[in-house]
Structure 1
Amino acid sequence: MKRTLSLLPLWAVCAAALANPQAPEPDLYTLPLDELLRVQIPPQADVGSRAGAHSAPGAIVPIDVYTAEQLLSVGTMSLAQALAALVPGFNYPRPSIADGTDHAPPFTLRALNPDQVLVLVNGKRQQQSALLHTNGTIGRGSSGVDLSTIPLLAVERVEVLRDGAAAQYGSDAIAGIINIVLKGYGHANQALLGWGRTTAGDGLQRQAALFTTRPLAGDGFINLTAELRDRGATNRAAPDPLDGGRINTHFGEADTQDALLAWNAEIPRGDTTVYTHGKASRRHSSAGAFFRRADDERNLPSLYPQGFLPRIEPRITDLSATLGAKGSWTDGTQWNLAYTGGANDFHFYVANSLNRSLGASSPTAFDSGGTALAQHSINADWSRPFGRHTLAGGYEYRRESYRIRAGEPASYLLGPDSAWYAGAQGFGGFAPENAVRTQRDSHALYLDLKYALLPQLTLNAATRAEHYSDFGNTLNGKLALRLQPTPHWLLRTSVSSGFRAPSLAQANYTSTTMIRDGDAILQYGNYGVDHPVARALGATDLKPESSRHFTLGAVWQPSRALTASVDGFITDIRDRIMPTGYIAGWNLAQLSPQAQAILLQQHVDGATYFTNAVGTRTRGVDLRLDYQHDLPQGRRWHLSAAYQHARTRITQVNRAPAVLGVDMTDLILDPYTRVTMESGQPSSAFKLWAQYKTPGYALVANLNRYGSFASTHGHTPVTFAARWTLDLQWSYHLNRHTTLTLGGTNVLNAKPAQWGVTDDAVTGAGKPIRYSQYAPFGYNGAAYYLRLGVRF
């Protein structure tokens, strides 16, 4: 019965479209002005081909376009959360008690890693976060772009390319591409004030955003968007039975304050246009680590008689700017020359904590150091039409740098007190020996050919040769074919190779921790592959991940109002980069005597590093359906339904270094890691976005079904059932310029099934964490909001 109900909206859309399948398309030249203003042109996309903007429904590869109206209709001012509500296969869980990951959660696409998705702004590559996710979260061992640094009010549309595209755009575009297009010419000034909170009474959200534009001569413009965002923390921890029933743990979203700025400008000068766009953001954030009870050996009752909850409070700065010029020559050649620079700085601070080994003289707040990443690129692109054909190409130079800065001494020192724990509790600081400063260069040449073999048959061929200063050369190619046998049917297929360059963080991240065990000082560490400890334990230079991608699909468009598509895909990835488990005798029972001797010689009790570990295959299918219907008196229905099913399986395990005496399965694939990689993300997702719009008001319903996902409880896999969520929004136009919006997110109050109050209900060991942090819809439950919008 549930499945029948879920198919009713799709059946209704198809029935409405097929009721008059031969209905003639209107002649735009004969329409009156009021009807002409309501005509919907097919969504346009820039990504996917270097031949220029093209119709997304008829593209040679599958592309989805999400408008600003859709992004604002799901009740959030965060771009990442808006995409999670609209895009099937876009996963954005809310980790907690995961160090830096709490403050910049990663997203994934098609069940692959955050760093296997390329993010562009106006077609230009964006730098990733300097944060390397090292804890047990989705995206462990990777870094990704922080989409929440882009003000939502600055966005005109988001294009999601569901195809491998590294042969066109370079590293990272294995799972696909997200291209964020900023508002350009012809938009009105706009201001938004927003307020909201959860039905549990926490998570207070306040936003103020302003978009202002100034038109210039010749279709030029200067647009600025500023936003202030204040989100209070949520907490879904249970009472602690061993601490008098107090709720002493923070398990929920972080308390964050964001200041964001974005700009986009074009200044035409004859046949040349000078342009610039970019963004800048600053985030202050605070979230809890694990609670230390009053009688915990890590606590000093003289400082914290009731125990203490360390707070990790990073300061995150993100900057990106593009300056370029574009134009055309008399032979029709289009050219584009641009520089893009970006940086992300993740600086860790810890509050309400102590360094136990320093005794009562320990400070309670620490500067734990940080990581920084910078990226600079120069692109020179051109394209030229030859009748119905287009040839495009270009050159790209990119320099990337990565840095780890040491914290203040108290954040990492092992002091004179015979205590067990050194450094700031919650997040121990980076020591001077952890400090890193490294960089690399890459050069790329690429060609892209769009060739019309017949009026109904188009071929797209692309190739890209790239040289990296740290690991060498790559050469990748792509072939795509589009056949339109009838005006209403389109068949398409593509095959491509791709790659992802190992990140500088994966190759160089180093962090060590010291504890005192009786009279012995034990040291555990994550080491870069060039570190002497890692080299002695068999680490080698990281190779790029390589991929093969295949897509086969069809598009049916019986009228301008209805578009339906189906696309199947297969993505094979070799040499995926993963962190090892701790290389230690207590963790790997078969660890060789030689490896144990190396650990003893290096004064290390446990070590981990990154390595090319496994191969995977991801298979899936995408279904899309979009229907729009105009009604009398300026009313309109718009329904958009989407479904994705995707599963990832480990298909190959590489050999482990011989010096360790263990195989790669024991070194890498503990039960948690295997389950997380293969089942930790929903295998399916269904989205139904419906809007009924009149001149006076608009109603939006956004229905989501998140498929089941799994994690481990100890070493036992646990599967969490699928859940439905529903977002509702009502917008009322007080006048031509002012709109009042009332809405609710997750109004069904869906939450994942509970783990239980503690990890061990018998002994009370563990923490009072009730929900899985892998839930794709979070654990906060229902929330509501009020928004006031003004156009001027």
Structure 2
Amino acid sequence: MKHLVLLLSILLFNTFTSFASDIQISGIITDENGEAIPGVMIFEKGNSAHGTTTNFNGEYHFIVDEEAVVVIRYMGYQTEEILAKDVPQSFKLTQEAQQLDAIEIVGTRSQNRTVTESPVAIDVINLENVTAATGQLDMNQLLQYVAPSFNAQRQSGADGSDHVDPATLRGLGPDQTLVLINGKRRHQSSLVNLVGTRGRGNTGTDLNAIPMAAIERIEILRDGASAQYGSDAIAGVINIVLKKNTDGVAVNVGTGVTSEGDGESANVDVNYGTELGKGGFINLTGQYQHRGRTNRMPEEETFRNYIGDALSTGFGGFVNAGLPLSENTEAYVFGGASVRHGESYAWTREADDDRNVPEIYPNGFDPNIISDIADYSVSAGVKTNIKDWKVDFNNTFGYNEFKYSVDQTLNASLGANSPTSFYSGKHYLSQNVTGVDISKYFDGFLNGLNIAFGSEFRIDTYGIGAGEEASYKNYSDGSVPGGAQGFPGFRPENEVNAQRTNVALYLDIETDITDKWMIAVAGRYENYSDFGGTLNGKIASRYEFSKAFAVRGAVSTGFRAPSLAQKHYSSIFTDVVGGVTMEKVITPNDSELAKALGMPELKQEKAFNASLGFTANLLDGLSLTVDGYYVAIDDRIVLTGAFEDTDPEIGDELKELDVSAAQFFTNALDTRTLGLDVVLAYSFDIDAHNFTTSVAGNINRMELGDITTNEKLTGKEDIYFGEREQMFLLASAPNHKFNYTINHSYKKLATMIRLNQFSSVELMDWDGEIDHYAGRLTTDIAITYSFNPKLRWTIGGNNIFNVYPTKQDPLSTETAGYWDPVQMGFNGAYFYTKFGINF
């Protein structure tokens, strides 16, 4: 089998290059006690795609230029850099546990524990490795293909959601995953997903606001962590760790295009790191990204002329810095800013549509919805060591804003005098968190005890600002639709500036009962100014039968208060239902309209999370992790279906508002999710060829409970949260997703082949029919050639065989195209090239 893989790689990539200066380095890497360390990364500095990892016995070997600098890196240990010709055959790594800036891993606050010793499942994704061999420009789409439990769908015609992909872990809601940067809470987006999208009624975090070139690694904790990091970490935690390197400038330049000749992309990022003072560092990143529109309009008649990705252009910058103030104290700061301009076409208004004015658009028109997104954050703090107690005092502020405008449109009620562009208003969110974290490791208690505790005080603000009057007002007697077509503006009555506070206290204890058995216990109390208090707990354990096999598991509780957006969002927006354009209203649950319908007040979601799994090193170079999980969420918050103006309770009120239907946020049902994560990896060498293969998969099943209403809503369950909305919720993740990857490196050439398998998905269309999307297999490929340690070139393709989802009736889908948004997307093949340069 090994020789077959070798033969295929040679035939595929035709690599017959040799260099007189190349040498083979080999050896064994151990810890300070002489124990072999498997999984240590050894790679050429400036080209992390050219390298290898140690096997189960700590052994490695690979070919490298004798003048190149070799980096030896393993989480929890000091990184070493050595000239290739000087690398010793036996090398000991030094732990960082006693350093002030020791590496902390999400899921454990003990700095004496590595990722493989954690009692819960953690993915660690080295961004430099991944981005060197992929064409994805944004974070959500990148994680979609490298983390099996992560799912994101790119939307089309879904207003602001066209620019921030709804993303989930284990098929749960976008707002049920907590995002951290350097271990500090990241603010969410101000966007509420509403139209034609997964995660309806949810707010998530805009990962694309963080330049990928600023990131060293991403840690994904695939387990409930409300008791450790915050009540909303029901599905897990994504921790983004920023770069701290001080080795000069790295530049990446890339471009790509789909096989249809659209969706052109351009990316330039620059990362610069240098020392700051004595023992300090500063790392700066700048980024420019552009993604052009795609159009996959059906051949037959439809309701839209443009169906596909929106246009997006953005600039961003990030900084990460630390400066020792004394031997035991360090000040640090990190944060950044990004601005992104997006344009997406709304549904077509035909020439004879009563929403058109033929004098302005004799052939009809396609409203162009413009989103200008601004995102800012800064986190500053001081770390110190007081009698072996590590203390971290920090303040983190974040702000996200969406401003909307529409051009190539009109307000039909103004007739031929209508403007063709409008400012439609904005929504914004800010978050300020002040916290202190204290921890100490006691090596004299049993086989080691780590105690961590701390507190946070958080202020959240959410607001809506109105658009210009002509963007929302109907100037006629109601016989002609009013407001800007495509995106009616927010009205003065929609304006809100809501605020709440949250106080949290936590205690986190980990102890090694023996050198094989550890137990972790955590508890967290949070008190919201608008929802009261909640206490969550977690117990986790790991038992190591041998160095080759260990079992791990955890049980925990979780709590998520309704977001400020879910409590206070209101708007009148345009939706298209089976080709019929109508205005809908979303109004808070304490409004008169909601009370007239008997809509219950929002309450918190409650969760129970359990996991059980094992890690195994089956043989030299072969590792396997299997983790099963169960997540029960009661009183899940969703966006209801549409109550129309024929409803006896609210029909008259809707007609007075000149809208056809109303939707509300509500605690509609309980969900139960059962799943399995599997990661199998195998590394081996044949002569100078290094191979790393992996299979990573997620199997996920969600079950929905009975729809929960009150007496006044009895009999309206099919509207309250009907089968169509239920199927959208179930489609948040495919029933299974697997990635099969082969990485091969030989001298200066590195190659990657990845197969992505998505299971079938079923959705209900506007005709009440079930649209079945069959399972699909897509193929990605990348080839990287390193001319020298400072210059590399990559060419590649995603979905190179141009696989599309199953075609549907475009007159009935949510998008009016052949496909609704599903996990694999519907843009077809994408090909790219890029250069990496180090100075």
Q: Indicate which of 56, 59, 67 corresponds to 2:115.
A: 56
Q: Which residue of 1 aligns with 2:421?
A: 365
How far 1:717 moved relative to its partner?
Answer: 1.6
Q: Tell me, in whole angstroms, the C-alpha distance in 2 between the residues paired with 1:767 and 1:377.
A: 39
Q: Deviations over 1:281-310 (max 9, x none)?
A: 100110100011111121111100111000
Residue 726 (structure 1) aligned to one of 766, 774, 779: 779
CA spacing shift, 1:531–1:560, aligned 2, 3 Å: farther
- 2:637 alignment counterpart: 577
**1:288 aligned residue:** 345
Q: 1:147 to 1:440 in 2, by over 3 A?
A: same
Match of 1:770 in 2: 818
AA matched with 1:360: A
- Counterpart in 2 of 1:705? 757
Q: Summarize the Cα distance change of 1:602–1:396 in structure 2 as closer, same or farther, 3 Å threshold.
A: same
- 1:217: how far off? 4.5
The answer to whether the aligner puts 1:147 opposite 2:221 as a matched pair is no
Return the match for 1:65 from 119, 124, 140.
Answer: 124
Q: Distance in 1 between matches of 2:132 and 2:481?
A: 47
Q: Deviations over 1:197-226 (max 9, x none)?
A: 011100110111100011134532100100
Match of 2:616 among 556, 559, 563: 556
The secondary structure found in structure 2 opposite 1:479 is: strand
| Per-residue CA distance 1:535-591 (angstroms, 9 max, x = gap) | 3332343211110000000111256733211111000000101122223363xxxx6
Q: Distance in 2 between matches of 1:242 and 1:476?
A: 50
Please say if residues 45 and 65 of structure 1, whose CA atoms lie closer than 8 Å, have aligned partners that are also in contact.
no
Following the alignment from structure 2 to structure 1, what is the Cα–Cα distance between the partners of residues 480 and 338?
39
Instruction: Report the secondary structure of 1:734's partner residue.
Output: strand
Equivalent residue in structure 1 for 2:538, among 478, 481, 490 = 478
- For 1:159, which of 200, 216, 219 is the aligned residue? 219
Work out whether 1:303 is the aligned partner of 2:303: no
The one-letter code of the counterpart of 1:778 is: G
SS of residue paired to 1:430: coil
CA RMSD of aligned residues (A): 2.9
Paired residues for 1:598-747 under 5 Å: 606-630=661-685, 632-633=687-688, 635-654=689-708, 656-663=709-716, 665-679=717-731, 681-713=733-765, 714-747=767-800
Task: Indicate the residue corresponding to 1:12 in structure 2.
Answer: none
Contact 1:357–1:421 at 8 Å: present in 2 too?
A: yes
Question: How many Å apart are 1:57 and its aligned residue?
Answer: 2.3
| Residue 123 (structure 1) shift | 0.8
- Provide TM-score, normalisation by structure 2: 0.85
> SS at the partner of 2:705?
strand
CA distance in 2 between counterparts of 1:158 and 1:45 reads: 12
Give the distance between the partners of 1:95 and 1:751, measured in 2 at CA.
Answer: 15
Alignment of 1:162-311 (within 5 A): 162-239=222-299, 241=301, 249-270=305-326, 271-311=328-368
* Aligned-partner SS, 1:666: helix
- Aligned-partner Cα distance in 2 for 1:90–1:239: 33
Are 1:648 and 1:677, in contact at CA under 8 Å, matched by a contact in 2? Answer: no
* Structure 2: tracts of 5 or more residues without a match: 10-38, 40-53, 61-71, 73-79, 97-102, 576-581
Alignment of 1:154-553 (within 5 A): 154-239=214-299, 241=301, 249-270=305-326, 271-330=328-387, 332-387=388-443, 388-416=448-476, 419-512=479-572, 524-553=584-613
- Which of 141, 144, 158 aligns to 1:81? It is 141
Question: How far, CA to CA, are the matches of 2:466 and 2:256 in structure 1?
Answer: 39
Determine if contact 1:61/1:162 at 8 Å carries over to the other structure.
yes
Work out whether residues 597 and 649 of structure 2, in 8 Å CA contact, stay in contact via their aligned partners in 1: no
Identity of aligned residues (%): 36
Instruction: Give the match's secondary structure for 1:202.
Output: coil
Partners of 1:335 and 1:511 lie apart in 2 by 45
The residue identity in structure 2 corresponding to 1:486 is S
**How many Å separate the matches in 1 of 2:601 and 2:620?**
53
Task: Give the direction of change, closer, same or farther, for the CA distance of 1:615–1:372 in structure 2 (3 Å limit).
Answer: same
Q: After TM superposition, give the deviation of residue 136 of structure 1 in Å.
A: 2.6
* SS of 2:565 mapped into structure 1: helix
Q: CA deviation at 1:627?
A: 2.5
- Aligned residues of 2:502 and 2:527 also touching (Cα < 8 A): yes
Deviation at 1:393, TM superposition (A): 0.6
Picking from 833, 836, 839, the partner of 1:786 is 833
Q: In the aligned structure 2, how far is the partner of 1:38 from the partner of 1:668?
A: 64
Output the CA distance in 2 between the equivalents of 1:104 and 1:486. Answer: 45
Q: Distance in 1 between matches of 2:172 and 2:389?
A: 38
Q: Distance in 1 between matches of 2:142 and 2:93?
A: 23
2 CA distance for matches of 1:560 and 1:523?
A: 63
Q: Which is further off, 371-380 or 182-191?
A: 182-191
1:683–1:187 CA distance, 2 compared to 1 (3 A): farther
What is the aligned partner in structure 2 of residue 763 from structure 1? Answer: none
Query: Equivalents in 1 of 2:55, 2:348: separation in Å?
Result: 67
Q: CA deviation at 1:229?
A: 0.7
Distance 2:656 2:343 in 1: 40
Listed as ranges, the gaps of 5+ residues in structure 1 are 10-16, 516-521, 761-765
Task: Measure the CA separation in 1 of the matches of 2:638 and 2:623.
Answer: 40
Shift of the 746–42 alpha-carbon distance from structure 1 to 2, 3 Å rule, reads farther
Three-state SS of the structure 2 residue aligned to 1:313 is: strand
Question: For the Cα contact (< 8 Å) 2:645–2:654, is it kept in 1?
Answer: no
Change (3 A) 1:147 1:183: same
Does the 8 Å contact 1:86/1:689 carry over to 2? no
Output one character per residue of 1:670-728: Cα deviation in whole Å (capped at 9) or x when no partner: 22111112245311011122211233121111221011111112212222111111111
Q: Which residue is 1:748 aligned to? A: 801
SS at match of 1:54: coil
